[in-house]
């Protein structure tokens, strides 16, 4: 009798272990990294993404958020994602996701967030970018508004491209930015976002460029009294995952992640617009010289940046003139 009970106990234990293993195989943990603080619109929107995915999968998919560059710089995290040690990431650089994303980065291309989203939600454009990214081992889940970019410095008010000459600006390692700054007459130094505040404070660089939300989030306005509010670029906000990891997930979880990613976009887009207006007012109240160029002054910047388009189409060949024309028509609402 004791032997029979022992055998039954062994069988029950084995079945319990098998069941536990089966249940464990149906659960997934997705680590998602980014560089912004927990008060930035990006992270607040990611909290909504996390909540949505975990609720819809009944806890079978857990999203772990790693903000404030705790997992490294953007290039570091992107490489970790490609290698499979990080499942998901939000941010740039864009060239290593898909060179086609440079279609969004042409200077003075979008008039507003609405124009950018007409392009981001277009199935043809999205598929062009997503197919290119998948060849690089990455899965694009959604594209939103990463913020209109402004130019700041500690030397003088910028009214025309001539005022850019002689300024040394920090930029991320994104050629659409570095080439644009050079075209406007400034020199540049690329460095991680985490190093920017101290570099500005100590005079290693004179200025930088970023969306208002990032300028405020990183407290750059504290050491940058001059802000050119010019919206010279609208960057895409791209949520990506390791393609092999994503493609191995059950199809219903894949769809939940896609839907959650677009919820993230919708949430961050709304927060970005609200945040920008409020933060600009705070910066002005704090003594910053926030200058919005007149239509004529802005046109001078547009004209000065015209060579950037030719550089990307004919020199770098990152996209074709036909692809650029398609995106421009969508942006213009045609």
For residue range 233-283, what is the model confidence (pLDDT) as tens digits?
999 999 999 999 999 999 999 999 999 999 999 999 999 999 999 999 999
- Give pLDDT, residue 141: 98
CA distances from 327 to 62, 83, 121, 315, 320 (A): 36, 32, 11, 19, 11
User: Please, which residues bridge with residue 90 across strands?
Assistant: 239
Structure tokens belonging to residue 256:
């939940």
CA dihedral 85, 90, 92, 94 (to 10 degrees): 90
Q: Could you give all domains of the chain from N- to C-terminal order, each with its CATH number? A: 27-331 (3.40.190.170)
- Its pTM surpasses 0.85: yes
Question: What band does 334 get if pLDDT is binned at 50, 70 and 90?
Answer: confident
Query: Are 155 and 253 in contact, with CB atoms under 8 Å apart?
Result: no
What percentage of the chain carries pLDDT values higher than 70? 93
Contact indicator for 170, 199 with CB cutoff of 8 Å: yes
**CA pair distance 146, 116, nearest whole angstrom:** 10
Note the pLDDT of residue 153: 98
| Cα distance between residue 94 and residue 237, in whole Å | 10
Give the contacts of 108 (CB within 8 A, at least 6 positions apart): 231, 232, 233, 298, 301, 302, 305
């Amino acid at each position: 009798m004791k032997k029979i009970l022992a055998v039954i106990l062994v069988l029950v234990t084995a079945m319990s272990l098998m069941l536990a293993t089966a249940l464990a195989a149906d659960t997934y943990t997705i680590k998602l990294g980014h560089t912004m603080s927990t008060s930035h619109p990006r992270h607040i929107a990611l909290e909504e993404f996390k909540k949505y995915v975990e609720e819809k999968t009944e806890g079978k998919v857990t999203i772990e958020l790693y903000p404030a560059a705790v997992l490294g710089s953007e290039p570091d995290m992107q490489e970790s994602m490609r290698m499979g040690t990080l499942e998901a990431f939000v941010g740039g650089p864009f060239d290593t996701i898909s060179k086609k994303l440079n279609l969004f980065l042409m200077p003075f291309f979008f008039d507003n967030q609405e124009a950018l989203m007409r392009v981001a939600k277009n199935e043809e454009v999205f598929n062009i970018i997503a197919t290119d990214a998948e060849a690089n081992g990455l899965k694009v889940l959604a594209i939103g508004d990463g913020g209109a970019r402004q130019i700041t410095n500690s030397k003088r008010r910028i009214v025309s491209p001539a005022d850019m000459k002689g300024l040394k600006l920090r930029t991320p390692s994104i050629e659409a930015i570095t080439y644009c700054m050079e075209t406007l007459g400034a020199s540049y130094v690329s460095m991680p976002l985490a190093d920017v505040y101290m570099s500005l404070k100590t005079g290693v660089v004179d200025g930088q460029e970023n969306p208002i939300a990032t300028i405020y989030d990183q407290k750059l306005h504290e050491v940058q009294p001059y802000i050119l509010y010019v919206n010279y670029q609208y960057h895409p906000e791209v949520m990506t995952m390791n393609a092999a990891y994503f493609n191995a997930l059950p199809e219903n979880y894949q769809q939940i992640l896609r839907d959650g990613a677009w919820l993230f976009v919708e949430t961050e887009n709304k927060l970005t617009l609200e945040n920008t207006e409020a933060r600009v007012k705070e910066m002005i109240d704090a003594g910053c010289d926030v200058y919005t160029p007149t239509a004529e002054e802005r046109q001078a910047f547009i004209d000065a940046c015209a060579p950037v388009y030719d550089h990307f189409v004919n020199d770098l060949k990152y996209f074709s003139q036909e692809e650029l024309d398609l995106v421009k028509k969508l942006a213009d609402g045609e």
